[in-house]
């Protein structure tokens, strides 16, 4: 159905533009002009501007002379995001060990077993994300989950640059082993162990990501200064 140019669903356009950014169709440095997006979606500029303002608040775009530009991160900024994720995700794991229900545990086990049965990197990446989302839900802390979603989006912009390293069979095997340890702690309701094992897991992931980005240099050249 064609959307009237007189209005439009700002939330729907936000989702479209956000997906184009985190999915790699609009890489860092891409200029997003409200008038062009308005014509592309066949809507007025107002809902497009509202969507871009929301994306700016999430740290995915910044204002530029001609509209907005997909934000490019410096290596220091990416490291800061990774460290924030470690703090939040370890808290989520700790909370999951304390607050998880039997249904939460069943979901975690199901996704974990699906990962163990797969060897496809694309499927394993999706299952890995699903497992972490299930863990956050098991922590029953909506604020942590919301903040984690924002940080995830900021890093997904660079997933294409790190996929060779993260999808390597050795890394995928380590992820499964680390998830096994975290899951075991959550099952036993050992909050301290769940937190510590998540810190180890995410710290290794941070180092892998930073190393891959440093080798590729992609997305980091010409990065905008913090705004």
Residue-wise pLDDT for 14-58, tens only, equals 899 999 999 889 999 999 999 999 888 888 889 999 999 999 999
Residue 6 phi/psi, 5-degree rounding, is -75, -15
- Stronger pLDDT, 176 or 209, i.e. the higher one: 176
Residue 21 CB contacts under 8 Å (≥ 6 apart), including other chains:
30, 55, 60, 61, 70, 153, 157
Half-sphere exposure of 213 (CA within 13 A, CB side): 24
Q: Copy the structure tokens of residue 106.
A: 């069943």
pLDDT at 158: 85
Strand 31-32 to strand 67-70: parallel, antiparallel, or no bridges (unpaired)?
antiparallel
> What's the pTM?
0.83
For 123-127, what is the mean pLDDT? Answer: 93
pLDDT of amino acid 221: 44
pLDDT tens sequence across 142-200? 999 999 999 999 998 888 777 777 888 899 999 999 999 999 999 999 999 999 999 99
Mean pLDDT, residues 6-13:
60
Point out which residues pair with 68 in neighbouring strands: 32, 63
pLDDT (0 to 100) of residue 111: 98
The mean pLDDT of 116-145, rounded to a whole number, is 95
Mean pLDDT value across residues 130-143: 97
Q: Which residues contact 27 (CB under 8 A, 6 or more apart)?
A: 70, 157, 160, 219
- Cα separation, 200 vs 137, in Å, equals 21
CA distance 201 to 194: 10
Name residues whose C-beta falls within 8 Å of residue 24's C-beta, 6 or more positions apart in sequence. Answer: 157, 159, 160
Which strand (E) or helix (H) includes residue 67?
Answer: strand 67-70
pLDDT above 90 covers a percentage of the chain that reads: 69
- What CA–CA distance (Å, rounded) separates 220 from 218? 5
């Amino acid at each position: 159905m064609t959307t009237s140019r007189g209005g439009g669903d700002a939330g729907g356009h936000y989702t479209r533009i956000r997906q184009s950014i985190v999915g790699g169709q609009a890489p860092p440095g891409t200029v997003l002009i409200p008038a062009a997006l308005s014509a592309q979606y066949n809507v007025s500029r107002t809902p497009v501007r509202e969507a871009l303002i929301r994306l700016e608040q999430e740290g995915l775009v910044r204002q530029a002379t001609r509209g907005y530009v997909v934000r490019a991160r410096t290596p220091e900024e990416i490291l800061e995001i990774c460290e924030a994720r470690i703090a939040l995700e370890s808290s989520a794991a700790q909370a999951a060990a304390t607050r998880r229900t039997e249904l939460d545990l069943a979901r975690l086990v199901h996704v974990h077993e699906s990962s163990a049965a797969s060897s496809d990197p694309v499927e394993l990446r999706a299952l890995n994300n699903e497992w972490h989302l299930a863990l956050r839900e098991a922590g029953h802390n909506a604020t942590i989950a919301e903040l984690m979603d924002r940080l995830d989006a900021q890093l997904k912009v660079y997933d294409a640059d790190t996929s060779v390293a993260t999808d390597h069979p050795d890394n995928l095997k380590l992820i499964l082993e680390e998830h096994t340890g975290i899951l075991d702690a959550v099952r036993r309701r050992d909050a301290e162990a769940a937190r510590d094992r998540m810190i180890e897991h995410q710290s290794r992931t941070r180092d892998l990501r930073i190393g891959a980005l440093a080798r590729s240099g992609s997305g980091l050249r010409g990065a905008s200064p913090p705004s």
